[in-house]
Amino acid sequence: MTKILLTGSTGYIGRRILPILLSKGYEVVCPVRVESRFDFKDFDEEEINRINVIEADLGDKEVYKSFPEDIDYAYYLVHSLTLGSGKFEEHESQIADIFKEYLDQSAIKQVIYLSGIVNDDDLSEHLRSRKKVEDILSESKVPLTVLRAGIVIGSGSASFEIIRDLVEKLPIMVAPKWVNSKCQPIGIANALEYLTGIIGNKESFNRSFDIGGSDVLTYKQMLLGFAKTRKLRRWIITVPVLTPKLSSKWLYFVTSTSYALATNLVDSLKNDAVCENNDIDNLIRIEKLDYEESLKRTLVKVKNGEIISSWKDSFQDSELKEVFLKKLEAPTYGCFKDRQELEFKNPSEKVIDNIWRIGGDRGWYYVNFLWSLRGFIDQVFGGVGLRRGRRSPTDLKRGDALDFWRVLDADKKNGRLLLYAEMKLPGEAWLEFKIENREGNNFLIQTATFRPLGLMGRLYWYAVYPFHLFIFGGMARKITNRLD
């Protein structure tokens, strides 16, 4: 059986490639930084038997010794765009160097790397980093195939989410001159067809290809095209005075993007992202989607809650440490706690469903304006705020972003959800929901845990404690009583 190494298997593209590879009969080796984050529930038993999850930090040379020796092909989907400017270029190069050393000692026949379109001379830091990784991997003895994409249009993609946020929130946009840069967007379906269709194609070895859809558009045309698809009237006024820094802040406060991602994206938008090398179309025949069709397909997925992966689930823009992903219990020593325990009469399945729908568009059930205010304050201080929302309105997986929380455990069968706060805090915070049955009676146990950092942490807890008394109590009551 052909065996494929899929790095980045819990990332935006990796999560979508994995089921396709399994459907083609491959065995897939998935190195992940935290094994507990990998979710098997979307696969049947036969597919699970063909998934080999290995806990591994690709920046550690020693972990490669645990990889199987009979791997045939490899995907390199390691990107660090959500790291701050000046950080990801060095980080990506270091990991690529280590991965190259591994390739040179392996029996792998081909490595496939998804890069960005790099046809301009004056590249942004982000695109320079992608090109440098290409150069490093090309020095390996293993044949390299590089696919270069610009904007990817798909449910949960950063590009799509930013376009949607801008168009749906702003009837009139005062935009910088980069909205006139040109791009050749590609639908996620086409991107996956290229990525999975190129496996083992010897004519693609040691070559680079640009991949895109059938349209070449300016970013302004893309925004107005989205508005047309959504039947919204929008106006865009272009001004030359918005500096890259101001543009980044503008994106950060208007959209759900992090500031680091906004900064890196704005830096890249000065470069046209139009395909020049279309030779891949001689190797792989696909029906290219235009921008409008890609949008329509994506909006259907969003409407139906069929979002397999989201850029928001990246951990690179978070201070979350691996220890918290591995430790699926909130700490007890040196912590303040708010515990709410309510007996309820509604079916436990309905209460669990309410818990699983928390956040995002539904909100936090009680005094939502205070949650929104807390999210705004978090953004002002450089935090993630509430605008990340959630990947799906009904489904939660370990590792998902949920407003300014991160899902550490999502055991729906046993009615337990554990969240870790990614907002700016003088300490660390957890929020746990748990359903218990005692002698035929159902109880919701809701526990907020805060581990303060020094005196400021303690002062913070006492300052917000009066609000917690009615916010958390009201939230627990609403969760147990809501029927819609």
47 pLDDT above the threshold of 60 = yes
Average pLDDT on 210-235 reads 91
> Does residue 19 or residue 266 have the better pLDDT?
19
pLDDT in tens, 108-144: 999 999 998 887 777 777 788 888 999 999 999 999 9
- DSSP-based three-state secondary structure for 314: coil
Who's near 11: CB < 8 A, 6+ residues apart?
77, 79, 309, 314
* Confidence bin at 398 (pLDDT 50/70/90): confident
Tell me which of 49-63, 219-233, 249-263 is least confident.
Answer: 249-263
Average pLDDT on 21-49 reads 86
Run of H or E including 55 = strand 51-55
Average pLDDT on 305-321 reads 56
Instruction: Please give the torsion angle defined by the CA atoms of residues 114, 115, 116 and 119, in that order, rounded to the nearest 10 degrees.
Output: -120
Run of H or E including 217 = strand 217-218
- CB distance 183 to 216 below 8 Å: yes
Average pLDDT on 379-393 reads 78
Dihedral of alpha carbons 114, 120, 121, 124, sign: negative
195 pLDDT above the threshold of 80 = yes
Please, where are the H alpha helices in 230-343? Answer: 244-254, 259-268, 291-303, 322-326
340 pLDDT above the threshold of 50 = yes
What is the pLDDT, as a whole number, of residue 319? 44
> In b/e form, how buried is each residue of 21-46, taking b as 16+ CB within 10 angstroms?
bbeeebbbbbbbebebbbeeeeeeee
Average pLDDT on 344-352 reads 93
What is the pLDDT, as a whole number, of residue 210? 94
Cα gap 196→112, rounded to integer Å: 10
Distances (CA, A) of 323 to 80, 336, 362, 420: 21, 20, 30, 12
First to last CA, the chain: 48
Q: pTM value?
A: 0.76
What is the pLDDT, as a whole number, of residue 320? 47
What's the mean pLDDT when you consider all of the chain? 85
Cα gap 398→420, rounded to integer Å: 11
pLDDT in tens, 400-452: 889 889 888 888 989 999 999 888 889 889 999 999 999 889 999 999 999 89
100 pLDDT above the threshold of 90 = yes
Average pLDDT on 362-377 reads 89
Beta 144-149 vs 207-211: how paired, if at all?
A: parallel
Count other Cβ atoms within 10 Å, centred on residue 149. Answer: 25
What is the pLDDT, as a whole number, of residue 261? 66
Cα gap 236→220, rounded to integer Å: 7
